[in-house]
Structure 1
Amino acid sequence: MTQTKRYNAFYAQSGGVTAVINASACGVIETCRRHSDRIQTLYAGRNGIIGALTEELIDTSQESSEAIAALRHTPGGAFGSCRYKLKSIDTHRAQYERLIEVFKAHDIRYFFYNGGGDSADTCLKISQLSERMGYPLQAIHVAKTIDNDLPLTDNSPGFGSVAKYVAVSTREAALDVASMCSTSTKVFILEVMGRHAGWIAAAAGLAGEGEEQPPHLVLLPEVAFDRAKVMAKIKQTVERCGYCVIVASEGVRDAEGKFLADTGLVDAFGHSQLGGVAPVLAGMVKEELGYKYHWAVADYLQRAARHIASQVDVDQAYAVGVRAVECALEGKNAVMPAIRRVSDAPYAWELFDAPLEEIANREKMMPAEYLREDGFGISEAGRRYFTALIAGEAYPPYENGLPKVAELKRALVAPKLPPFSI
């Protein structure tokens, strides 16, 4: 009987991490181990795709089953992530050829890239190059982004947990402001992530129901910022409720499309660097209304908050990791396991394999039907969509009052190729 040849696999994390990206890593690693008859060793890139270019490969077989299982409740990127977008194949072919050289040297035939839209593009390009060079490689994208802007999939793993964190934080902060508003802060502004799509800020709308309950204003990139209209709404809310809670996407922009917080700089992916919309809004409140204000930026806290993760999000993050490996073993290439919503009540979902050509470098904006007519809150349709994704609590185990996290060896394999500069 002829024995099936075993090949190695490569997994890497990309971009800003989430509370559940390591749950996807756990799904990938555990599934590879269950298919040891087909997959010999899974290597993880140290600091994402950079680890492949520099041949810094972590041997995940050196990690215990307990440590890998603990990834399900560990935030951050366990193997290191990076913001590094590969350039065009035609102008920077050496980078892509280096990747294939590393894969050849380590007998890697399965490539799993865990990230958002830019990493989907990288995964697609690598699959295309492997075909051009005649090197057999199954390139599978593993969805991840708190921005929830990947097309085709109903939602992106990582979003449900940040949505839960922002909704919880908005409700708790609002109670704080309400208790002190007669003599202290009248206006509280919470800035959340979301450069082009306002999914995260919109999820904060779950904190209350109706215009009388906070957040009183939700400001999104999809709705052009009208200063006069916003200031009038804040004034009206303070006079009626005694205080006003605002949740704003970092990417709030005016009718001309200019970001309120545009610094004029760009990041490694060419995206605008935003300098903080909360203080900009606070300055407007001070100048026009004279109210005492306070602002906060959720920043990394929102995407690292594994202690308040959504159970649905953890389950979906793990499931797409599992399915990614299954796709590769089925011979599929340049696809991403995506989520299809089957029903709202009860909430049910399933996975399907989406082509990367329809995902890479594209963004999914929030439907207008998810917003109230005034543009300052979410509609009932939006509430149904978001509520399903924040369902369930997936508390991590605690020790001495703090969450326990995975402790990994991260042992590197010996390089086989000359050094490579990126």
Structure 2
Amino acid sequence: MAKRNAFYAQSGGVTAVINATAAGVIEAAREHGDRIGKVYAGRDGIIGALTEDLIDTSQESDEAIAALKHTPGGAFGSCRYKLKSLEENRAEYERLIEVFKAHNIGYFFYNGGGDSADTCLKVSQLSETMGYPIQAIHVPKTVDNDLPITDTCPGFGSVAKYIAVSTLEASLDVMSMARTSTKVFVLEVMGRHAGWIAAAGGLAGKTDEEPPHVILFPEIAFDREKFLAKVDQAVKDYGYCTVVVSEGTRDAEGNFLADAGSVDAFGHKQLGGVGPVIADMVKSALGHKYHWAVADYLQRSARHLASETDLQQAVAVGRAAVEMALAGKNSVMPAIKRLSDAPYSWEIDEAPLAEVANVEKKMPREFISEDGFGITDAGRAYLAPLIQGEAYPPYNSEGLPEYVQLRNVAVDKKLDTFKLR
């Protein structure tokens, strides 16, 4: 059978290790050069496929591809472009198949979260009806850790490590000034519907006295009076209070505390910053001096503090995606299966996309303390192994990480221009 090429694209917000997954895909494909031709990457994610803006990764050296494992960001560009349903915009899906056909692409590796899983599923379904079968493999990635079936999502372990370390270090700063100045520190972290990242802040301390003293989860309805009482008591007992708050914290009616009144390209509500909302609440109600910070892009791009466990898993799912495609698999996702907590061990399993797409995995209630403001021993047992090990990038003589910048050579176009909606 003639060799077919592969298409790889990155979707949504990037992580500290999404490029490591790209390296896993490309390296595995090169090892099977007798069965896979070239690996084309989409410039700016799925938009690159729709506009036939493809990157020829064969123009990159083995050394450059290997260097992706320690380089943050999205090497080929990413996007937040959600394809509508087949009924609403069949033309876009047909365009994808046309591009794949024009460039002899038989393997589709889409590296992202829940929305990309849905796109991957639809492409696999449509390709069969159009008579040009595509083996569509979704490769998991999301700092939110909210994909189902997989024990964890590559990208989460590193952001969890960053938040745990930042919570600890900032708390030591606040504690040193608590007698004379700042009493409350608020750290806002990502997590629209699931509180996994906020929960990671709980790894900073093990006792009530240690920070964080309060964690606010999207899964627990925000109660203003209970929250303020908890903060005030922590200040009285310990001299200061550290709060880790998820951006998706909601009130009892389900309203985001920081709803900015707009939506992003995926149709998700834009959140306007819950950190200052919480900090102002503390100031006005309790009078405590405060500081707040938003981890924002820093948490998901902090490759200098990546988890070794996360790095290994990011590479593994990329390689597994290629092996699954070569085994004839379609419409599946390599998933991480936990075998034990201590010692931590895991393996790669297989998840059907029909059970992954459009399903969010939230924090189990048993991982959240009874009062709703912390994590339990079960939550700690789940989280702790994911931040284990250090995977430092190489540093140059000027004291900065040595990251790679790919050449990203474009592939010649063969089709007419396609206008995005």
| Interval of TM-score (by shorter of Structure 1 and Structure 2) | over 0.9
The answer to whether the Cα contact below 8 Å between 2:75 and 2:405 also exists between their aligned partners in 1 is no
Counterpart residue type for residue 419 of structure 1: T
SS at match of 2:220: coil
SS at match of 2:297: helix
- Cα deviation for residue 407 of structure 1 reads 2.3
- Cα deviation for residue 263 of structure 1 reads 1.6
Distance 2:131 2:121 in 1: 16
1:13 and 2:10 are equivalent in the alignment: yes
The answer to whether the Cα contact below 8 Å between 2:135 and 2:328 also exists between their aligned partners in 1 is yes
The answer for the alignment partner of 1:411 in structure 2 is 409
1:93 and 2:90 are equivalent in the alignment: yes
Residue of 367, 370, 379 corresponding to 2:367 = 370
- Cα deviation for residue 265 of structure 1 reads 1.1
Counterpart residue type for residue 62 of structure 2: S
Counterpart residue type for residue 56 of structure 1: D
The answer for the alignment partner of 1:69 in structure 2 is 66
Distance 2:274 2:366 in 1: 25
The answer for the alignment partner of 1:338 in structure 2 is 335
Distance 1:55 1:217 in 2: 49
Distance 1:204 1:235 in 2: 20
Counterpart residue type for residue 411 of structure 2: V
Counterpart residue type for residue 368 of structure 1: R
SS at match of 2:261: strand
- Cα deviation for residue 88 of structure 1 reads 1.1
The answer for the alignment partner of 2:318 in structure 1 is 321
Distance 1:272 1:91 in 2: 21
SS at match of 2:72: coil
Distance 2:115 2:53 in 1: 22
The answer to whether the Cα contact below 8 Å between 2:124 and 2:133 also exists between their aligned partners in 1 is no
The answer for the alignment partner of 1:152 in structure 2 is 149
Distance 1:140 1:154 in 2: 18
Distance 1:412 1:308 in 2: 32
- Cα deviation for residue 362 of structure 1 reads 0.8
1:43 and 2:75 are equivalent in the alignment: no
Counterpart residue type for residue 147 of structure 1: D
1:31 and 2:28 are equivalent in the alignment: yes
- Cα deviation for residue 314 of structure 1 reads 0.2
The answer for the alignment partner of 1:166 in structure 2 is 163
Counterpart residue type for residue 104 of structure 2: D
| Equivalent pairs, count | 419
- Cα deviation for residue 5 of structure 1 reads 1.3
- Cα deviation for residue 181 of structure 1 reads 0.9
Scaled by the length of structure 2, the TM-score of the pair is 0.99
- Cα deviation for residue 182 of structure 1 reads 1.1
- Cα deviation for residue 315 of structure 1 reads 0.2
The answer for the alignment partner of 1:401 in structure 2 is 399
SS at match of 2:252: coil
SS at match of 2:67: helix
The answer for the alignment partner of 1:307 in structure 2 is 304
The answer for the alignment partner of 2:419 in structure 1 is 421
- Cα deviation for residue 52 of structure 1 reads 0.3
Counterpart residue type for residue 257 of structure 1: G
The answer for the alignment partner of 2:52 in structure 1 is 55
In angstroms, what is the RMSD of aligned CA positions? Answer: 0.6
Q: Report percent identity of matched pairs.
A: 71
Distance 2:406 2:39 in 1: 15
Scaled by the length of structure 1, the TM-score of the pair is 0.99
The answer to whether the Cα contact below 8 Å between 2:141 and 2:154 also exists between their aligned partners in 1 is yes
| Per-residue CA distance 1:152-197 (angstroms, 9 max, x = gap) | 0110000000000000000000000000111111000000000000
Counterpart residue type for residue 402 of structure 2: K
SS at match of 1:414: coil
Residue of 186, 195, 204 corresponding to 2:201 = 204
| Per-residue CA distance 1:28-85 (angstroms, 9 max, x = gap) | 0000000000011000000000000000100000000000000000000000000001
The answer for the alignment partner of 1:138 in structure 2 is 135
| Per-residue CA distance 1:293-339 (angstroms, 9 max, x = gap) | 00000000000000000000000000000000011111110000001
Counterpart residue type for residue 259 of structure 1: F
Distance 2:411 2:205 in 1: 52
SS at match of 1:211: coil
Distance 2:278 2:38 in 1: 52
Counterpart residue type for residue 283 of structure 2: K
Moved more, 374-383 or 41-50: 374-383
Residue of 99, 102, 105 corresponding to 2:102 = 105
Distance 1:286 1:168 in 2: 26
The answer for the alignment partner of 2:213 in structure 1 is 216
The answer to whether the Cα contact below 8 Å between 2:71 and 2:303 also exists between their aligned partners in 1 is yes
Residue of 200, 222, 226 corresponding to 1:225 = 222
Distance 2:81 2:324 in 1: 25
